Amino acid sequence: MDEIRIGVFVCHCGTNIAGFVDIASVEEYVKTLPHVVFTQRNLYTCSETGLLAIKNGIEENKLNRVIVAACTPRTHEPLFRGICSEMGLNPYFFEFVNIREQCSWVHQKDREKATLKARDLIRMGVARAALLEPLEKFQIDVKPSTLIIGGGISGMTAASNLANQGFEAIIVEKDIELGGQLRHHHKLYPGNMDSQEILSIIEEILKNPKIIVHTSSKIKDIDGYIGNFDITILKDEEEIKFGVGTIIVATGTDLLKPKGLYNYDGKKVITQKELELLFKKDQFNFKNIVMIQCVGSRNKERPYCSSICCMTAMKNARYIKEKNPDAEIIILNRDIYTSGTYQETYYRDARKMGIIFSRYNESKLPKVSEESVIYFNESMKEEIEIKYDLVVLSTPLISYGESKELSKMLKVPIDEFGFFLEAHVKLRPVDFSNDGIFVCGTCKWPANVPESISQGYAAASRVTRIISKDSFTVEGATAWIDQDKCVTCEICLKKCAYKAITRDEEERVIVRTVLCKGCGVCATTCPQHAIEIRHYTDNQVESQITALLEGDLVE
Amino acid sequence: MDFKPKIIGFLCNWCSYAGADLAGVSRIQYPPNIRIIRLMCSGRVEPYFIFEALKSGIDGVIIMGCHPGECHYMTGNYEAEMKYQLLKSLLTYVDLDNRISLEWVSASEGIRFAEVVTNFTNSIQKLGPSPLKKIDKDSELLFNLNALQIAANDYRLRALIGRKRKILDEGNVYNKKYPKEKFEDLQETAIYDEYQKNRIILYLKKENLSVKDLSERLSIAPNKILEYIVDLRGEGLIDLKDIQELTPYYTAKQEA
Ligand SMILES: Cc1cc2nc3c(=O)[nH]c(=O)nc-3n(C[C@H](O)[C@H](O)[C@H](O)COP(=O)(O)OP(=O)(O)OC[C@H]3O[C@@H](n4cnc5c(N)ncnc54)[C@H](O)[C@@H]3O)c2cc1C
Ligand code: SF4
Ligand code: SF4
Ligand code: SF4
Ligand code: FES
């Protein structure tokens, strides 16, 4: 093996680091460490000057390992790895030591100890760097097409957006036609638009040569990985197979049917959805209406707020009042959720129109009898009876039962209520942590139409990042199984959350590198210690541990 | 000289390491004793790493990962927790269990990160220096810790932990679901047995001993020792060496 030649670049970060750590003494110390052939201090390592200094350092000193002791790898590692690559050095020969976020910034009152800590951390980094191995990131081909599961407004938005950019989209919809929940709506808040107007997108979709629509179809099997998913669907009992590069999950939600609640019968006690159907068919003919909010939501079984029901109830109450100002409408609620300026105004106007809002408490639920609703008025602290000719129940959006099966096929997580879980609520709101699979619309969490549409656009734009290129680069720091040690017990196979471990044709247990994320769970589980995690090998981690203690001898 | 604990923190890249970075960005000050080793997931933490750290005289080890349900790799932190519980159980036999800790810290919990580190540092400060800091190679503590480390590294306990979730969630080969408490009892027994068996092996590597000798060294009843001996011979890890005055003496195979 070639001689190990480590270069260490210690960053001042202006005064961010140098103000609290004695950088000069750190550099002197680092010079004494094994394999370190070059050290340098830089005012700002990530600046043009700093990067040039690294390049020159590599070239002039024939460095084959580069360490930057500076800020955090979470923001700057790609930059420095890139510089190494440019200089013909494998990027996995780069090692980052964090002496800013995890040292100078958090020990500002103790220069001496911060300096000692920086020394320790760099010593650990040097030990690890000596054991680093070159790894290849490799490229896989990407099919420029997308499967969209669910043809509601969010899925259709994504499809049309992708098609308009020239990419193929394939919608698989279980129902007999596209449209999702919107097909059953009457008017839409905000803005009182007719739902049919938005649904005109269906025609566009059906005409678009870039979009293939499979209705009355369900997903039977999903195999493969980013760039090359193999899909099997069942369309009217017939199996159809095709390949796509990416997947968007847009399966929306069901609406809770309040069976057994508040004497629900679908005639005199109905849901908001059924009320809207009456409007659409022009069959609405009631005068005394009681609406009950949070029916089956915000309780023990379903603690979440369905977020659309307050506005939906108001939308429908206002419609009734506009048509017939003499109608008496009371909305029994636990709270009214109207976030933002538009919704709050909508609520105030509803009150001005004479719609009554009255509060009940979860511990004393209203009771619906043949002719009247009896409830305990929270403000007046007394029981009140209201005669009705129609009761409308606001029930929550709930996940479809088959989401669970789908989540297993896709290997993506769902939460306890069956909603799909994104990779990160804030940072990656429409991604799954599995590469190449995205999510939008209400299948992720209750949302209204504008939100569902924005998410559809978001998912489409995340997809184009991948399918607009011919290939995708896969992480090189993955698991590897030593066949001499493996006894094919399959314990690891069941542990891998990404199903990256399988049997090959020769019945050996192997890692499918494109699927592996390098989490390391398989390695710590294997009873035979047969699995190595590249870039985080046992030896590399151990070297950091032992290097820490060696320090005591020096001090 | 006053005691300055040396602490290693194993942090997952996605939540806890990010939380540590946030503590930095927010300039939240905490004790400078911790040295962080970044791993991709808390599920990558090998029990063996912790043994290595403790054996080399580190005063405390803390593992940090994402909150339950938030692991970047979905379930890595549950795996970490199972391995941590195993470690905890093993280390109680040598009274080192209070020198390790497992905490969940999210990327947005910079303040919490600093608190966790401060509290852990204080607790180690109170405990005083690790007894392994200045210890001779023949000490009983090191001997026992070695036995525990081998037990943790060995096929049996790893396979048991490896199958734990499956057994609890899906049932064993007979499709019988195991109640959690029952499994935990079983696990505790397995840990104890593996520990004692490895102690026997280590003793027998040093010298040939009889059941009675072993019973005295391990402070375990002779009939239990005999059970272990039978097991270990069955596994081919120890051998009968010779018989003196009707008493059998055993030895361990060097590769055991
Ligand atoms: C009564 C009511 C009134 C509402 N009123 C308003 C309003 O006035 N304004 C507003 O902004 N919002 C309103 N909403 C909310 C609105 O309905 C949703 O925001 C919107 O429909 C979400 O669209 P989506 O595409 O995410 O899901 P959906 O509309 O639910 O569409 C999902 C589609 O996926 C299909 N699907 C599901 N599972 C599968 C599968 N496994 N395989 C294949 N296909 C599958 C479904 O059949 C469906 O066609 C209302 C909701 C309700 C219940
Ligand atoms: S490399 Fe990091 S630490 Fe150095 S100047 Fe740039 S931001 Fe600051
Ligand atoms: S757990 Fe280890 S021994 Fe078992 S199949 Fe996986 S790699 Fe092989
Ligand atoms: S490292 Fe993680 S993702 Fe890769 S094979 Fe192992 S368990 Fe699966
Ligand atoms: S990534 Fe944080 S615990 Fe798995």
Report the residue from B32, B53, B73 with minimal CB separation from A497: B73
**How many domains does chain A divide into?**
4
Do residues A412 and A331 share a domain? no
Give the CATH number of the domain where residue A442 resides.
Answer: 3.50.50.60
* A97 pLDDT above the threshold of 60: yes
Which residues in B lie closer than 8 A to residue A495 (C-beta atoms)? 79, 162
Q: Which of A20, A96, A103, A106 to mutate to test the interface with B (most CBs of B within 10 A)?
A: A106
Do residues A383 and A417 share a domain? no
What is the atom index within ligand 5 of the atom nearest the CA of B43? 4
List, by residue range, all CATH 3.40.50 domains of chain B. Answer: 7-127
Torsion from C-alpha of A331, A332, A333, A337, nearest 10 degrees: 0
Do residues A304 and A421 share a domain? no
Residue that is last in its domain, among A446, A472, A498? A472
A333-361 confidence digits (pLDDT tens): 999 999 888 899 999 999 999 999 999 99
- Angstrom distance (rounded) from CA B61 to CA B237: 32
Predicted pLDDT of residue B186 = 87
- Angstrom distance (rounded) from CA A93 to CA A85: 10
- We find that the CATH architecture of domain B7-127 is 3-Layer(aba) Sandwich (3.40)
Give the CATH number of the domain where residue A526 resides.
Answer: 3.30.70.20
Which residues in B lie closer than 8 A to residue A105 (C-beta atoms)? 24-25, 27
Do residues A263 and A385 share a domain? yes
A42-83 confidence digits (pLDDT tens): 999 999 999 999 999 999 999 999 999 999 999 899 999 999
**Do the beta carbons of residue A78 and residue A45 sit within 8 Å?**
no
Domain-located, residue A160: yes
Do residues A352 and A411 share a domain? no
Which residues in B lie closer than 8 A to residue A121 (C-beta atoms)? 35-36
**Do the beta carbons of residue A10 and residue A69 sit within 8 Å?**
yes
Per-residue pLDDT tens digits of chain B, which is 256 residues long: 589 999 999 999 999 999 999 999 999 999 999 999 999 999 999 999 999 999 989 999 999 999 998 888 888 999 999 999 999 999 999 999 999 999 999 988 999 999 999 999 999 999 999 999 877 777 899 999 999 999 999 898 999 998 888 877 776 655 566 788 888 888 899 999 999 999 999 999 999 999 999 999 999 999 999 999 999 999 889 999 889 888 999 999 877 6
Domain boundaries, position A298 = 257-395
User: Among the CATH numbers 2.40.40.20, 1.10.10.10, 1.20.1090.10, 3.40.50.2030, which is that of B154-252?
Assistant: 1.10.10.10
List, by residue range, all CATH 1.10.10.10 domains of chain B. Answer: 154-252
**Nearest ligand by distance to the CA of A503:** 3
Do residues A295 and A344 share a domain? yes
Do residues A124 and A22 share a domain? yes
A188: Cβ–Cβ under 8 A, 6 or more apart, which residues? A194, A195, A198, A315, A449
Q: Which of A123, A427, A434, A524 to mutate to test the interface with B (most CBs of B within 10 A)?
A: A524
| A67/chain B closest Cα distance in angstroms | 15
- Residue whose Cα lies nearest atom 4 of ligand 3: it is A489
Helix axes A309-323, A340-352, angle to 10 degrees: 40
* A554 pLDDT above the threshold of 50: no
Q: Ligand 2 within 6 A of A70 CB?
A: yes
A242-264 confidence digits (pLDDT tens): 999 999 999 999 999 999 999 99
Predicted pLDDT of residue A431 = 93
CB atoms within 10 A of CB B156: 15
Predicted pLDDT of residue B176 = 64
Asked whether the beta carbons of residue B166 and residue A525 sit closer than 8 angstroms, the reply is no
Do residues A388 and A406 share a domain? no
Do residues A324 and A403 share a domain? no
Query: Cα of B73 to ligand 5 centre, how many Å?
Result: 6
Residue of A nearest to B81 (CA): A521
CA distances in angstroms from A184 to A194, A197, A199, A309, listed in the order given: 11, 13, 11, 15
| A112/chain B closest Cα distance in angstroms | 10
- Residue whose Cα lies nearest atom 3 of ligand 3: it is A486
Residue that is last in its domain, among A347, A364, A395? A395
**Do the beta carbons of residue B3 and residue B128 sit within 8 Å?**
yes
Do residues A151 and A209 share a domain? yes
| ipTM greater than cut 0.90 | yes
Domain-located, residue A451: yes
Predicted pLDDT of residue A71 = 95
Do residues A468 and A377 share a domain? no
Q: In this prediction, what percent of chain A has a pLDDT beyond 70?
A: 99
Do residues A163 and A198 share a domain? yes
Cis, peptide link before residue A190, omega less than 30° from 0: yes
Domain-located, residue A303: yes
Residue that is last in its domain, among A135, A153, A168? A135
Domain-located, residue A551: no
User: What pTM did the predictor assign?
Assistant: 0.73
More confident residue, A241 or A497: A241
A516 part of contact set with chain B, CB < 8 Å: no
